[in-house]
Structure 1
């Protein structure tokens, strides 16, 4: 299978200026400015195969949006090589933009004061789509995203969820083989998120559309992506299967006990004080949750000791969430290739 995206030693630097203090400093700033070079993306390399759905994740300022802007030709790299769908996003600009779809969650590509369908018609002309192609493809997109009732409304009168569904439809008018989604579900309610996720799965299966998704909502990644690329301070710290990320760093489990009678944290702490078990109060009456190393002997020993010592109503064993695993990786500053 061919690579849809190839990135090699990609780097983007920005110049950051700082002002000197005081009147004398302001006067000096008129002639010479203090500045430093800040790398937003720092020599990263990765490939994306055709038909893959990749989660591109990282904290604010990690370099996600900067990468997307370089891959889509909005920003020019300081150094490195990019090939997207066999083209250089900057040199083959006109031809290139016809082969991608882009949705930025906080920027609109629809015209604010005209009806949604008029925006679609304008985009149809821009991309040179025939009436027949438009009717066949967009008929499916409009039905799947349930936006038929919104087509005659101006964009400014749409709710955020309605607008994002229309934005996604607009990005797909020319049925591009590659779709960039930058925070597409930001601020959306659960039902709208589910509809968008189902739609993305559908187009990926039907058209083998390659999707690169950046998001802070880890549930989006879990629902859509098998592979994640994790960025921190402009560098890739993990590139691999989401499942491997969970097994590699998901080294804790949570066990919730609901006790028949009130119990204190001190009493629970005395059960297994030297095995890395920590207790915190859970949701509900007499519920306590133990954070425990993901080791079979420790888990079974703790459950046995609790059951022998106290009367319990319920026990639940939970995996630590992907979101928590990722947060722990950033907090501990772990570096893995």
Structure 2
């Protein structure tokens, strides 16, 4: 699928900007370009990319807020924009900086209203509330008006609101932004439970790489509206892992070390950082270092997920097709 937006072309010169106020000209910009993606029922997928990469636009297309300019989009076998009522029953959505709760009502009243909107039977409603409360600890603040809740409290209530009608698919756009580490772990536990025990499909966008590694196996990287990687985190590491680095502190000043299979990237007379060459192993380098030098500290650094993502952005592209969420 693809999505383009018509924007005003202002130009760089001042008179171009002035003319655009009187007789504007327009141009088309592609926010999503030929994205091809299939997500199975019960799968947890992280949709990642830098700001402006097309993540939020993709989520809005999947939820039916936006209509694709071209291509085919199916969620649960239905086109979101053609069957909006059924699509609303099928999905749950949390946008981290927006809320679906009523601002001046207690959070519990908002959940009760959503129960009536979706026609959730009272016994099911009570059972789900109890389940949510066990993990998210909602009852300590759900009688407080939403406008008085902290960000972490509000988003936990938003998660409950998104799932109160038992949707098959849940879209989360930066759900833990601004949360402290304790609340983040509560939310992660809740999401794990929804996927592993309830079999929901979850599509997550986030800039928190720790969250990605703790929650998902599959990552989809988008850049400039195009999918550049779609596979497991392990496969991402296998294809795009940067060279390993070894940091060493020497006991006293020494001459610049020369070790086979590595290059020295940093050196100050007491401490060195080595970058491994292809085919070299950390074990062999560490063994040679300890045999030849007096070492006080040594550490091996793997490339983190952000480095892997940057490498993938530079190296891959993907062709167009049909986007399907089971």
Taking structure 2 as the reference length, what is the TM-score of the superposition?
Answer: 0.90
Match runs of 1:188-207 below 5 Å: 188-207=179-198
8 Å Cα contact 2:264/2:273 also seen in 1: no
The 2-side partners of 1:313 and 1:171 are apart by: 53
Number of equivalenced pairs: 316
* C-alpha distance 30-155 of structure 1, shift in aligned 2 (>3 A): closer
Greater relative CO (CA pairs within 8 A, separation 6+): 2
Q: Deviations over 1:258-311 (max 9, x none)?
A: 333356xxx44x514984442378xxxx654433246335x3453244324431
| 1:107 maps to which of 68, 81, 98 | 98
8 Å Cα contact 2:261/2:285 also seen in 1: no
Partner of 2:247: 256
* C-alpha distance 121-291 of structure 1, shift in aligned 2 (>3 A): same
Match runs of 1:128-277 below 5 Å: 128-262=119-253, 267-268=255-256, 270-272=257-259, 275-277=262-264
Taking structure 1 as the reference length, what is the TM-score of the superposition?
Answer: 0.87
Cα distance, 1:158 vs structure 2: 1.3
Partner of 1:334: 315
Question: Is there any run of 5+ residues in structure 1 with no aligned partner, and where?
Answer: 1-9
Runs of 4+ in 1 over 6 A off after TM superposition: none
Question: Is there any run of 5+ residues in structure 2 with no aligned partner, and where?
Answer: 319-326
After superposing the two structures, state which structure 1 stretch, 37-46 or 300-309, moved more. 300-309
1:318 aligns with 2:318: no
The 2-side partners of 1:319 and 1:221 are apart by: 17
Cα RMSD after superposing both structures: 2.2
Higher strand share: 1
* C-alpha distance 174-24 of structure 1, shift in aligned 2 (>3 A): closer
The 2-side partners of 1:288 and 1:189 are apart by: 35
Cα distance, 1:29 vs structure 2: 3.2
